[in-house]
């Protein structure tokens, strides 16, 4: 690399590793620390996120991230160094203690307040959220909504048995064209003839369930080309093995793929909304409402009932209804789109009671008249 840089710019002077390690890196760390401090000091409504993961050395660590919302969206800052938890009894009490310490540090070092904490939903994190919400009732503790929506997509594959077979068949198609470059090239030629573009076949990842939709939709988008490919090269088992030919000619598979895509489409939209930098609690409530409506309108009533039941079960386990209902009601756009415009038909009394109780919980004082006018 040094020789390449010298060749490109002979006059370039490359600092030694001692200069980088002892002067440049410490100076940049000092600048970054000052920058983070200036952004966090005095903030009253911070969001904290934490998760356990493995670093490049395969050590298990626990990291904390603080998010600041501003006029341009959000900014994320790592809160101190990651904690090495290799060999630690990583249970709910341990996570609760470490999180409480970080919350205390934010309050002490930056004179700032964290009002929202989120993490995924493994056993230790669920217990930590419960313990922390009892200890710190003025902070909202919720699961990672993007992760929860991802698990709802997993429920679709898990609780609708016939979808499993359709996904297996879909996987057979994508796997064949991804591993056979000759078949892929011939399929692309057919696609260009039909669509004037190439549609790549993608596989899905078990831990990223929204990738199921992309994989199935790509196959559906290329249906005509795939079936023509099957007819054109049917005599060559090296290009169209028997099991692939059976799947391409199976009407039940194509119907099942269409149904899976229809079920997953609102989930994928909700996933994208949950991963947006500008996502709010009200947006998550709106996204889950869209999922519920999508499941409720499915033509297959057995599938509809199964998926709605699983969604309701997940909602009751992880989401406080009062927080989401009040957040959606106070959001101007959602209030107009999702609530009745006739005041006599809106249960504003319930909303006001919830909002008042939450105000007292979060701010430790009675609400002002401004809340009444907002409701």
SS (H, E, C) the chain: CHHHHHHHCCCCCCCCHHHHHHHHHHHHHHHHHHHHHHHHCCCCCEEEEEEEEECCCCCEEEEEEEEEEECCEEEEEECCCCEECCCCCCCHHHHHHHHHHHHHHHHHHHCCCEEEEEECCCHHHHHHHHHHHHHCCCCEEEECHHHHHHHHHHHHHHHCHHHHHHHHHHHHHHHHHHHCHHHHHHHHHHHHHHHCCCCCCCCCECCECCHHHHHHHHHHHCHHHHHHHHHHCCCCCCCCCHHHHHHHCCHHHHHHHHHHHHHHHHHHHHHHHHCCCCCCHHHHHHHHHHHHHHHHCCCCHHHHHHHHHHHHHHHHHHCCHHHHHHHHHHCHHHHHHHCCCCHHHCCHHHHHHHHHHHHHHHHCCCCCHHHHHHC
* Angstrom distance (rounded) from CA 88 to CA 94: 9
- Cα separation values, 22 from 12, 18, 114, 240, 357, Å: 20, 6, 35, 62, 54
Residue 279's pLDDT is what? 84
- Exposed, middle or buried, 163 (CB in 10 Å: 0-12/13-18/19+)? buried
- Exposed, middle or buried, 133 (CB in 10 Å: 0-12/13-18/19+)? middle
The first and second tokens of residue 242, run together, are 């028997």
| Cβ atoms within 10 Å, residue 301 | 9
Find tokens 């609708």 and name the residue.
Answer: 160
Q: Spell out the per-residue pLDDT of the chain, length 375, in tens.
A: 777 877 888 787 778 888 888 888 888 878 877 877 888 888 888 999 998 888 888 889 999 999 888 777 778 888 777 888 988 899 999 999 999 999 999 999 889 999 999 998 888 999 999 999 999 999 999 998 888 888 888 888 788 878 889 999 999 999 999 999 999 999 999 999 999 999 999 888 776 777 888 999 999 999 999 999 999 998 898 999 999 999 999 999 999 999 888 888 888 888 888 888 788 899 899 889 888 988 898 888 888 898 899 999 989 888 899 999 899 888 887 876 766 655 555 556 788 889 899 989 888 888 888 777 777
Residue 176's pLDDT is what? 94
Residue 154's pLDDT is what? 81
CB 270 within 8 A of CB 287: yes
Terminal-to-terminal C-alpha distance of the chain: 64
* Angstrom distance (rounded) from CA 283 to CA 331: 9
Task: State the pTM of this model.
Answer: 0.76
């Amino acid at each position: 690399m040094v020789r390449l840089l010298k060749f490109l710019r002979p006059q370039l002077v490359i600092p030694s590793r001692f200069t980088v390690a002892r002067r440049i890196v410490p100076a940049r760390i000092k600048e970054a620390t000052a920058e983070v401090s200036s952004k966090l000091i005095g903030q009253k409504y911070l969001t904290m996120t934490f998760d356990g993961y493995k670093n490049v050395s395969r050590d298990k660590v626990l990291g904390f991230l603080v998010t600041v919302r501003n006029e341009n969206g959000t900014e994320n800052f790592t809160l101190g160094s990651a904690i090495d938890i290799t060999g630690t009894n990583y249970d709910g009490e341990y996570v609760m203690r470490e999180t409480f310490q970080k919350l205390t540090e934010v309050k002490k070092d930056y004179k700032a307040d964290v009002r929202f904490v989120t993490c995924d939903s493994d056993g230790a994190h669920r217990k930590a959220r419960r313990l922390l919400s009892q200890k710190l009732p003025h902070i909202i503790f919720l699961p990672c909504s993007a992760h929860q929506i991802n698990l709802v997509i997993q429920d679709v594959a898990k609780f609708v048995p016939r979808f499993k077979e359709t996904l297996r068949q879909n996987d057979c198609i994508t796997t064949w064209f991804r591993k056979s470059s000759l078949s892929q090239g011939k399929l692309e030629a057919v696609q260009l003839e039909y669509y004037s573009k190439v549609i790549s076949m993608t596989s899905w990842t078990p831990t990223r369930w929204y990738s199921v939709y992309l994989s199935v939709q790509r196959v559906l988008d290329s249906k005509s080309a795939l079936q023509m490919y099957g007819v054109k090269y049917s005599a060559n088992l090296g290009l169209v093995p028997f099991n692939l030919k059976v799947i391409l000619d199976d009407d039940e598979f194509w119907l099942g793929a269409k149904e899976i895509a229809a079920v997953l489409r609102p989930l994928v939209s909700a996933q994208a909304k949950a991963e947006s930098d500008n996502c709010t609690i009200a947006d998550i409530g709106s996204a889950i409402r869209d999922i519920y409506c999508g499941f409720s309108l499915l033509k297959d009533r057995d599938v509809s009932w199964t998926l709605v039941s699983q969604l309701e079960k997940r909602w009751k386990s992880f989401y406080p209804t009062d927080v989401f209902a009040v957040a959606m009601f106070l959001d101007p756009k959602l209030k107009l789109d999702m609530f009745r415009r006739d005041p006599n038909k809106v249960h504003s009394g319930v909303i006001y009671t919830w909002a008042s109780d939450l105000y007292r919980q979060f701010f430790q004082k009675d609400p002002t008249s401004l809340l009444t006018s907002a409701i």
